[in-house]
Amino acid sequence: MASSTLSRFAIQSRLSRAPNSFVTIYATIVAFCTYFCMYAFRKPFAAGHYEGLKFLGTTIDLKTAFVISQILGYTFSKFVGIKLCSEANRFRRVQLLIASIVWAELALLLFAVIPGPWKVAAIFLNGFSLGMVWGLVVGYLEGRRTSEIQLVGLSCSFIIASGVVKDVGKALMTDYGITEWWMPFVTGLVFLPGFLLFSFLLHQVPEPSDQDIVQRVKREPMDARRRWAFMRQFFAGIVLLLVFYFFLTAYRDFRDNYMVDIFQELGFAEDPAIMTSTELPVAFGVMIALASLNLIKRNRTALVTTFAIMTLGVLLLGGGTLLLDAGLIRGDRWMVLTGLGTYLAYVPYGSILFDRIVASTRVVATAVFTIMLADAVGYTGATGVQLYKDLVQTEATRLDFFRHFSYAIAAGGAILLILSSVYFLRKSQSEGLAAVRPEVQPDDGQPSGGEDATDDDCALAAS
């Protein structure tokens, strides 16, 4: 125990004295790996087919019931995470990370051993334990001068990890004879040591420096009083963003879950590498576009640029669909455009957008609160739209539903993003150089600077 403690403090101490560029690379890599390993507890069950099995004698496929059950658990977890993640201090954060993954693995053990219909309950418990992991990891990265690089690197993990852990699950079944019921639990065991190691390394990331605080505002846990104060202060803008995210998450999940079906309707069923060739340029394009925001030091300018990139993303959805319907592009090129547009609008919600809102308005808070709130609303939308398609739009093919959904997201999303950008820019302009309201300002004597803090200002604060 003593040697472990000494080792922890030694790593933290060395990182606190290391150049900012080294800390950025370190934090990006360990955060990426931590969340990558988490996907081994969330997605492997989807590699099973569970052919011919129905849920409780209904016409609903058992696998469909598993998918919906996990999404429901994930959604409920996001609502719980609004409180737990936003209130968690540094030590509590790592405790919750480890507890979440242990719970998830035990749920997968239940999935393996309990009888048929009860497996749906086990997969619900699995989803419920994992919904807070994103917010807990983001808590280590927000509020830094290089947060964009770190958060975009973290975001790339879920674009890549989903396919990798499914391939691991398939290999366990085909090469080692693991059944599809035990495969998710065994896959989790394979990645459990990695998750524990990278969680420990992530916990060593030093707190934001004085320079970070001057440029991005001090981040602190938010109790119920601070959360309500934040919502009262920014209510209209937050509502606009949440309404759009409700439908955007549903759109993103529909594309992700039914990509195989959509490609089949587009005539690409025989191309085994079609999804890889589609998603790689999407991941690369999103990474370049959003990581470049780190070059913008003025928080208000960065916020404008973030909203512009998000709006461009939703316009790509409508524009790309128009080109497809006019016969000017092929279906695979259209799917690249829908992927690029989706993630240009979607990824900032879980990382950059709220971090820059906090920084530009100079309110002492944590971006994790609004990230978890948005995720709770978003996954509610994903469940609702899925049920709407299956119960109301029963005659529409998945391709037709997705095409019409693209037009709706493009039109409605652009309007909502423009309105919310005007709202937050006005807040930033009027409050950017002012102290935060007394009801949310801590008495900690930490320095606070204006949105235009320069490197000289940072050096002055550090001294």
Domain 222-440 matching CATH 1.20.1250.20: the answer reads yes
Based on the number of CB atoms within 10 Å of its own CB, is 394 exposed (0-12), middle (13-18) or buried (19 or more)?
exposed
Cα radius of gyration rounded to whole Å, the chain: 22
The predicted structure's pLDDT at residue 112? 92
The predicted structure's pLDDT at residue 452? 40
Q: What is the SS3 string spanning the chain?
A: CHHHHHHHHHHHHHHHHCCHHHHHHHHHHHHHHHHHHHHHHHCHHHHCCCCCCECCCCCCEHHHHHHHHHHHHHHHHHHHHHHHHHHCCHHHHHHHHHHHHHHHHHHHHHHHHCCCCHHHHHHHHHHHHHCCHHHHHHCCCCCCCCHHHHHHHHHHHHHHHHHHHHHHHHHHHHHHCCCCCCHHHHHHHHHHHHHHHHHHHHCCCCCCCHHHHHHHCCECCCCHHHHHHHHHHHHHHHHHHHHHHHHHHHHHHHHHHCHHHHHHHHCCCCCCCHHHHHHHHHHHHHHHHHHHHHHCCCHHHHHHHHHHHHHHHHHHHHHHHHHHHCCCCCHHHHHHHHHHHHHHHHHHHHCHHHHHHHHHHCCCECHHHHHHHHHHHHHHHHHHHHHHHHHCCCCCCHHHHHHHHHHHHHHHHHHHHHHHHHHHHHHHHHHCCCCCCHHHCCCCCCCCCCCCCCHHHHHHHHC
- Where do the CATH 1.20.1250.20 domains begin and end in the chain? 25-216, 222-440
pLDDT in tens, the chain (463 residues): 444 444 456 787 888 888 888 999 999 999 999 999 999 998 887 777 777 677 776 666 777 788 888 888 988 898 888 888 888 888 888 999 999 999 999 999 999 999 877 889 999 999 999 989 988 998 888 888 888 788 888 887 877 777 678 778 888 888 888 888 999 999 999 999 999 999 999 999 988 888 878 777 777 778 888 889 888 889 999 999 999 999 999 898 888 767 767 878 888 766 656 666 777 788 788 888 888 887 888 888 889 999 999 999 999 999 999 999 998 999 889 988 999 999 999 988 887 888 888 888 888 777 788 888 888 888 888 878 877 877 777 778 888 999 999 999 999 999 999 999 999 988 885 444 443 443 444 434 333 333 344 333 333 233 3
- Determine contact, residues 428/303, Cβ cutoff 8 Å: yes
Based on the number of CB atoms within 10 Å of its own CB, is 402 exposed (0-12), middle (13-18) or buried (19 or more)?
buried
- Determine contact, residues 159/283, Cβ cutoff 8 Å: yes
The tally of CA atoms less than 13 A away on the side-chain side of residue 269 is 5
The predicted structure's pLDDT at residue 8? 53
How far lies 327's CA from each of 261, 265, 302, 323, in Å? 20, 15, 37, 6
Residue 447 φ/ψ, nearest 5 degrees: -70, 150
Full-model pTM: 0.74
- Determine contact, residues 203/8, Cβ cutoff 8 Å: yes
Q: In this structure, which CATH number among 1.20.1250.20, 2.60.120.200, 3.40.50.11810, 3.20.20.80 belongs to the domain 25-216?
A: 1.20.1250.20
The predicted structure's pLDDT at residue 272? 54
The predicted structure's pLDDT at residue 197? 95
The predicted structure's pLDDT at residue 451? 38
Quote the CA–CA distance of 280 and 277 in Å, as a whole number: 6
Quote the CA–CA distance of 198 and 376 in Å, as a whole number: 26
Quote the CA–CA distance of 277 and 67 in Å, as a whole number: 25
Quote the CA–CA distance of 39 and 90 in Å, as a whole number: 23
**Beta bridge partners of residue 205, listed in sequence order:** none
Quote the CA–CA distance of 150 and 28 in Å, as a whole number: 5
Quote the CA–CA distance of 424 and 416 in Å, as a whole number: 12
Report the greatest alpha carbon distance in the chain.
70
The predicted structure's pLDDT at residue 354? 84
Q: Which tokens sit at 174?
A: 């085909």
